[in-house]
């Protein structure tokens, strides 16, 4: 019998208090809605250690809660061992992407690094090549990030499901 394989996805931003914990939670909710919680596990981390142990930014938690998304993650810094634990590391912007490249323990490990914008669709693919940092923005910055993550995570999940069917 085919051994069911769990796919582990790590979302990465700078502080791990705005974009990546939101991406993790949006994805976890989509995964649960499709009955795939046993097959796809998500986590998030930041390239910067300064917010380690903190809950997500209250502005992001508030914006997410209005969409029924409850972010409970505590921030942590990404580490090179994450390349052993995770099948995919999804960076929110070019700076996070470059830092992951520098952290990757082997050349093969770099194959696991992706950008969130790879999964943008109709609404965002044309105009955006990153998920913008909302930290110094107003509430509309957080809404934009959540809109992008809802579209991107749904497409990422579609790709993971399609890849699993091909196996």
Helix boundaries (H) for 34-93: 58-65, 82-85
**Residue 108-147 contact track with ligand 4NP, rule CB under 6 A, x = bound:** -------------------------x-x------------
Q: Which residue has the tokens 């390239």?
A: 47
Binder among 16, 24, 25, 29 for ligand 4NP (CB under 6 A): 16
| Residue 18 binding ligand 4NP, by CB under 6 A | yes
Extract the runs of DSSP E, i.e. beta strands, from the chain: 7-13, 40-46, 88-91, 113-115
| Residue 44 binding ligand 4NP, by CB under 6 A | no
User: Of 31 and 75, which has the nearer Cβ to ligand 4NP?
Assistant: 75
| Residue 14 binding ligand 4NP, by CB under 6 A | yes
Hey, what's the torsion of the CAs at 21, 45, 39, 115, to 10 degrees?
Answer: 90
- Return the active site residues: 13, 19, 133
Distance of CA 111 to the CA centre of its chain: 16
Binder among 11, 19, 45, 148 for ligand 4NP (CB under 6 A): 19
Binder among 9, 10, 11, 17 for ligand 4NP (CB under 6 A): 17
Extract the runs of DSSP E, i.e. beta strands, from 27-158: 40-46, 88-91, 113-115
Stretch that binds ligand 4NP, among 8-16, 66-74, 77-85, 111-119 (CB under 6 A): 8-16
Q: Which two tokens stand for residue 163?
A: 């890849």
| Residue 13 binding ligand 4NP, by CB under 6 A | yes
Instruction: Report how far residue 71's alpha carbon sits from residue 19's, in angstroms, rounded to the nearest whole number.
Output: 11
Kindly list the residues in this chain that would bind ligand 4NP in the complex (CB under 6 A): 13-19, 46, 50, 133, 135
């Amino acid at each position: 019998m085919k051994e069911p394989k769990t796919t582990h996805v790590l979302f990465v931003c700078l502080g791990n208090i705005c974009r990546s914990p939101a991406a993790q939670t949006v994805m976890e909710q989509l995964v649960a809605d499709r009955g795939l919680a046993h097959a796809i596990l998500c986590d998030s981390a930041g390239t910067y250690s300064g917010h380690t142990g903190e809950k997500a930014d209250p502005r992001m938690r508030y914006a997410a809660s209005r969409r029924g998304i409850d972010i409970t993650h505590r921030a942590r810094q990404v580490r090179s061992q994450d390349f052993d634990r995770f099948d995919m590391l999804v960076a929110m912007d070019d700076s996070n992407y470059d830092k992951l490249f520098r952290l990757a323990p082997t050349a093969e490990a770099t194959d696991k690094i992706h950008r969130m914008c790879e999964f943008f669709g109709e609404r965002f693919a044309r105009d955006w090549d990153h998920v913008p940092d909302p930290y110094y923005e107003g509430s509309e910055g957080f809404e934009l990030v959540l809109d992008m993550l809802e579209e991107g995570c749904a497409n990422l999940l579609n790709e993971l499901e399609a890849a699993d069917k091909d196996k």
